[in-house]
């Protein structure tokens, strides 16, 4: 696995020692050898959910450890269509941006705690995501 998409939940769990998934995520990240990839909406969501004093440390770590992808304005209509398609879950901007990124890069391996939603989401060609935490 060369590129691993990363969702909000594992990043929050990794930063919060009291989180029920902290040990599992930390063990995975300690052993992981590859590239973490995510989007700005995911980083924004993490920064909103963690204590404010951890935000600078997290951003410094992400600057060297995570490949952060911009969303061009041309992606917004596609992302809006995905949010409409999965309105019953509902799909948020961070999740939609990861599905968009998967379509652009071909990466289907994802580090997420959101088994339900990423078990339902599909790429444009119908491919499923492979949740690496589900098999860890």
Annotated binding site for Mg(2+): which residue ranges?
7, 95
Peptide bond into 14 cis (omega under 30): no
From residue 93, alpha-carbon distances to 54, 66, 123, 133 in Å are: 23, 19, 16, 22
122 three-class SS: strand
CA dist., res. 131 & res. 115, Å (int): 7
Peptide bond into 90 cis (omega under 30): yes
36 three-class SS: strand
Q: Tokens in use for 13? A: 């769990």
């Amino acid at each position: 696995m060369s590129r691993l998409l990363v969702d909000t939940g594992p990043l929050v769990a990794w930063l919060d020692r009291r989180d029920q998934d902290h040990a599992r995520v930390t063990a995975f990240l300690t052993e992981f050898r590859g590239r973490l990839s995510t989007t700005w909406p995911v980083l924004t969501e993490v920064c909103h959910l963690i204590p404010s004093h951890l935000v600078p440390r997290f951003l410094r770590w992400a600057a060297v450890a995570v490949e952060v992808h911009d969303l061009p304005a041309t992606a917004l209509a596609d992302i809006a269509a995905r949010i409409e398609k999965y309105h019953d879950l509902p799909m948020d901007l961070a999740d939609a941006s990861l599905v968009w990124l998967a379509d652009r890069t071909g990466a289907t391996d994802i580090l997420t705690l959101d088994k339900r939603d990423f078990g339902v989401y599909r790429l444009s060609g119908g491919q499923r995501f492979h949740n690496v935490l589900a098999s860890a």
